[in-house]
Amino acid sequence: MNLTRRLRTVVAATLLGAASSSFAINTTSIVSSALSPDCLEYRVVGICYWLYCTTFGCSVRTSIKVRHYIPDAVVSSYSNTGENPWVEVRAMGAPNTTAQAGGDGTTNEDHENNLAKFKNADVIGHPGGTVFSQFANASGYTCEGAGTAFMPYLLSTLDTLAWRYNIPEAVYPESLIPGIREIGGRTTLNLWGNVYPRGGFLHQVDDHKSGAVVAQRAGDIVTRRGQIHIYRPLLAEARDGYWPAGALMESDASTGKWQELTPTLSNSCAVFPNSNSHMQAQQGDYAWALWRPYSCCERRGQVFLGSVDFN
């Protein structure tokens, strides 16, 4: 009887452990998720002109201009400090003396609507670069993204003053005036939350939507330079025949779109807000791949003369 009871205990503990980690995601799954034609959205959009010169004279050469999306980063949004759902990078966001604990504001009353939410956020370079390049090259000439695999671009545990206290963004006009920089709309009754202040706190009864809003905030920070946060810009420099992604804007797919990685692994990309099914993570941890648009053309001369888009 004691042996049977022990076996039952071990099995129960194993099942509980599996349930608690069932929504975690690993690097292998993230890499394979980059093989998404819907997120790639490869298109030929124009023609580039190059001046090619030799000792015998000069001529004008052309090359096609292409546009496609690249998974630059994985953006995790999670309640408990140190518990990033991407298991291999959890140590990057470990608790420290200024950033500990997490979770939601509650009095543990079952009838209470728990509105106060807090999420940590990590923006880390997408690990699928090599596999993605092979996949994208099948469509034709491809562009280079801004992300470096496993590079931390923002770790909210190192950005304590701005992330946990909203200093100084709590007094920005975007934070104080309703209707500015919001995800969704009040008139359409699908308001998910406000982008500012770009910290970890917000009021939202839906935990999945809370995670999405915080992910958007983190993406907003790293795709701009000179923000009052501790972070590394996730941006590339423009050059002849290369037009990298700029600042991310909410609800605008032309600046970037999101592929859900956990709690459900999606094969498609969308912007926030969207009507996709919103599964709630048991531990309040979510992760998305941030895909960003790039345009480029093959260099075919010494001097870039310009480009013409078909549209």
| DSSP-assigned letters across all residues of 139-173 | TSS----S--TT-EEEEGGG-HHHHHH-TTGGGSH
Nearest CA-CA partner of 126 in 71, 86, 168, 82? 71
Report the alpha-carbon distance of residue 64 to residue 154 in Å, rounded: 35
Judged against a pLDDT cut of 60, whether residue 16 lies above it is answered with no
Question: What average pLDDT score do residues 45-64 get?
Answer: 96
pLDDT of 106: 57
Instruction: Note if the bond before 263 is cis, omega within 30 degrees.
Output: yes
Report the alpha-carbon distance of residue 75 to residue 215 in Å, rounded: 6
Confidence of residue 17 (pLDDT cuts 50, 70, 90): very low
> Residue 105 has which token pair?
């504001």
Enumerate the β-bridge partners of residue 241.
none
> Residue 47 has which token pair?
């023609």
Taking the CA atoms of 181, 173, 244 and 266 in sequence, report the sign of the dihedral they define: negative
Judged against a pLDDT cut of 80, whether residue 18 lies above it is answered with no
Q: Is 62 left (phi over 0), alpha (psi -120 to 50) or beta?
A: beta
Average pLDDT, the chain: 89
Judged against a pLDDT cut of 90, whether residue 195 lies above it is answered with yes
Domain ranges in the chain are 27-42+68-296
Quote the percentage of the chain above a pLDDT of 90: 76
Altogether, the residues listed in the chain come to a count of 311
**The amino acid at 202:** L
The pTM assigned to this predicted structure is 0.87
Better pLDDT: 67 or 22 = 67
Report the alpha-carbon distance of residue 183 to residue 251 in Å, rounded: 7
Q: What is the pLDDT of residues 214-238, one digit of tens each?
A: 999 999 999 999 999 999 999 999 9
Rounded to the nearest angstrom, the gap between the alpha carbon of residue 154 and the centroid of all alpha carbons in its chain is 11
Question: What average pLDDT score do residues 53-63 get?
Answer: 95
Question: What average pLDDT score do residues 58-79 get?
Answer: 97
